Amino acid sequence: MMPLLVFRERVKSFYQRHDIYINPAVKFIFALISFMAINGEIGYDSRIKAFPVVLAFALVSAFTPSSIMVLIATAMAALHVYYASPILSILVIILLMILYFLFARFTPKYGYVVLAIPILFFLKIPYVIPILLGIIATPVAIVSTVCGVVVYYIIQLVKTAVNVQVNPSVDDVLKLYTDVIDGLMNNKQMIMTIVIFALILLVVYYVRRMKFDYAFEISIAAGALTSILGFLISDIILDKSDQILAMILGTIISGVIVYLVHFFKLTLDYSGVEHAQFEDDVYYYYVKAVPKVTITTPQRKVKHINVKNTSHEAVKSGRHVTDTDEEEYDEDEDAYSDNDNIEDFDYNNTTKADRKNGMNK
């Protein structure tokens, strides 16, 4: 356990020293993955799929708020759909803008969630998001979770509807819009996914706020168990039993990922729990204090061996007496601190008379 704690402290220290560079780099990588995923799923316009264009959008997202990243992704998706079906793009733009304003109104700082959920759906581990949000956020994050789930199913619906050839008559256009809306509103799998994700987030949030030991770790396990039970019932009801094994494995992997994130964010030492009681004019307080696990990263010590000529007899006989000094290497100053202040007398570059005078001294 100690090597992991040391590694965690080194990672946190490195991040604190270089966060001004790490944060934009992480945002850039996440934006690049998100935009490439959109191009991979509904990349109908080859001009938007061009790598220089994607790279430019990712660079802009790296130095702007997450809501701008979501807006760029929304615009890219709408342009792709417009290239394939201008009539369908009108409805898609309306749906995406409703979701965008809903997300921007209530949870603007969770823009990553809206884009991360579709990507994690493609990776078969979307359960990471509700468990993680239960650990680090509040129940209002359900709004971002719902928007992310709906975006994923809109993409799946667009991939099906864009292949439908529509004549410019009013009846055909209305029929297409009706089919898309019905396919979205009557999608039982999407509705059950939203309900289960919201339930997972609430279970994790309320369990980790309880006052027993290891509440955070137990809340992660509770969220994973809620996910397995909820989607097991959903798959049985919807007759999708072939997805059960993948769902269980994906939930276990998601729980491990969230635990690792929690380990680097917060580790508590429950062996040092303290209880305190005090009062003021209005209340009497019962306080439980749990210390965080903090360790000092070990400093490297370098043993330096200096060759010293300590006597005239040693010079005559050609023998050398070694003096071993321990020097501490300071990683921050990048220098040695030497406690040995004895000056060396250079016998090789002096005359015999100088050596004699030096030894008399």
Q: State pLDDT tens for residues 61-72.
A: 999 988 899 899
Look at residue 125 in the predicted model and tell me its pLDDT. Answer: 92
Residue written as token pair 């790598």:
51
Virtual torsion, Cα 96, 186, 160, 195, nearest 10 deg? 60
Q: Of 61-65, 164-168, 189-193, 277-281, which range is least confident?
A: 164-168
pLDDT tier, 302 (very low <50, low <70, confident <90, very high otherwise): low
- What average pLDDT does the segment 113-135 reach? 92
Q: What CA–CA distance (Å, rounded) separates 226 from 236?
A: 15
Look at residue 16 in the predicted model and tell me its pLDDT. Answer: 83
Q: What CA–CA distance (Å, rounded) separates 69 from 58?
A: 8
Q: Is the pLDDT of residue 336 over 60?
A: no
Q: Is the pLDDT of residue 48 over 50?
A: yes
Residues 6+ away with beta carbon under 8 Å from 117: 126, 129, 145, 148, 149, 151, 152
Look at residue 297 in the predicted model and tell me its pLDDT. Answer: 61
Q: Is the pLDDT of residue 329 over 50?
A: no
How many CA atoms within 13 Å lie on the side-chain side of 336? 10
